[in-house]
A and B are shown apart, each in its own frame.
Chain A
Amino acid sequence: MSRLRIATIWLGGCSGCHMSLLDLDEWLIELATRADLVYSPIADAKRFPPDVDLTLIEGAIANDEHLELAHTARRHSKIIVSFGDCAVTGNVTALRNPLGPAQNVLQQVYIEHGDPGGVIPHDPGIVPVLLDKVVPVHHVIPVDYYLPGCPPSAPRIRALLEALIEGREPAADIRYG
């Protein structure tokens, strides 16, 4: 059996889901005998590579960089998993949505509640531009599987990965928060 190519990406989230993935401890070594981690915040790869078998997406879509990376991941991945509550629902990342469009959010954070003389950061190409509304991953690209949880526990991540690696349909596992 050829080695599986796995990627993980970190969008609008706190990285807690990736911490939970690392919490798999020695099972990661077993995973490494069957798969390569070809792109991830915890791997040294600059560009999202082609021909990825499985991509876990942590985080919601909150800015233009997230949007682009999600589309790139979809183009190059056979299976996409929404990994954790932010990816599945928007969760904490989407708490800003009731404040209105991005400009209102920036105004409130940097000017109204910021230090005196605060300025709204504006460096297109350097600082990603916020989208007006934070949305879950499946609102912008088709998603194949969902693993809610804030974060999903290591055993739940393992159960999903084992099923997908063995080509089985993962058992329904729905727990938010």
Chain B
Amino acid sequence: MAAKTLTIDGHLVSARPGETLLEAIREAGITIPTLCHLDGLSDVGACRLCLVEIEGQRRLQPACMTMVSEGMVVHTNTPRLQAYRRQIIELLFAERNHVCSVCVASGHCELQRLAGMVGMDHVRYEYLSPDCPVDISHMRFGIDHNRCVLCTRCVRACDEIEGVHTWDVAGRGVDARVITDMNQPWGTSTTCTSCGKCQLACPTGAIFPRGVTVGERPLASERIALIVEARKQRW
């Protein structure tokens, strides 16, 4: 099939048919913020950070869930998008208890990096300060719901890469939580293989190896894509 030609931020770009707009934007050398997207996993369009403006369409579209099409004219960094992206990050910080200074992921955290990227010098909303549990019933890993942004990368890594689906999401709105098996302590899960892919996929310090302290959990989420690639190539 013929390549699609589209315009991204004023530049003519050609893309393969079936490619997502996010892939085309990245191939054009343009950086836009993402959070729920992780190379190697399917996309869900949950975080809304990669929203872009497409001329002729009234609504903003998530670049990760939009396929390229011929003649598309896309804007990735308008003042409106910048304002929404900052708002999204502020709301994430306001919804749970994100305290970088005591977090295992500090310095390697995608949420922390995004705050700088979108210019969040403070949060304009009231902090909800919910009472969130920390589950360290698993022998090797822990989950601190205070730091979870519900990106569902753990859910998808567990389901799509490990093929287990220990993780899922329960509850609605601000009460939504990632859960293991039938919403039971992680350590009692009968499906978990302790592979640690959820921990690799986690963009924040929500899922962490036990025994690490402030700033000690490096971000290694690119290993998910590496595993996928290795399986394709039968390394």
Please list the residues of chain A having a beta carbon within 8 angstroms of any beta carbon in chain B: 82, 85, 88-92, 94-95, 97-99, 133, 135-136, 138-139, 143, 146, 148, 150, 172, 174-177
Contacts and interface: CB of A to CB of B under 8 A. Distances in A.
A174 B129 contact: no
Contacts of B97: 94-95, 97-98
A94 B123 CA distance: 14
B131 A150 contact: no
Nearest to A100: B131
B222 to A, nearest CB: 22
A176 B115 contact: yes
Contacts of A176: 100-101, 112, 115-116
Contacts of B129: 94, 97-98, 133
Contacts of B71: none
Given A98-B131, A133-B129, A138 B100 contact: no
Interface of B: 93, 97, 99-103, 106-107, 112, 115-116, 119-123, 126-127, 129-132, 215
Contacts of A99: 131
B120 A174 contact: yes
Given A174-B115, A177-B107, A139 B100 contact: no
Contacts of B123: 89, 136
B100 A90 contact: no
B122 A98 contact: no
Contacts of B131: 98-99
Given A94-B127, A139-B126, A175-B116, A88 B121 contact: yes
Nearest to A90: B127
A132 B102 CA distance: 22
B121 A89 contact: no
Contacts of B102: 92, 95
Q: Please provide the 3 A-B residue pairs with the shortest distance between their CB atoms, ordered closest to farther.
A: A177-B100, A150-B101, A97-B129
A89 B129 CA distance: 12
A174 B130 contact: no
Contacts of B119: 172, 174
A35 B51 CA distance: 47
B122 A89 contact: yes
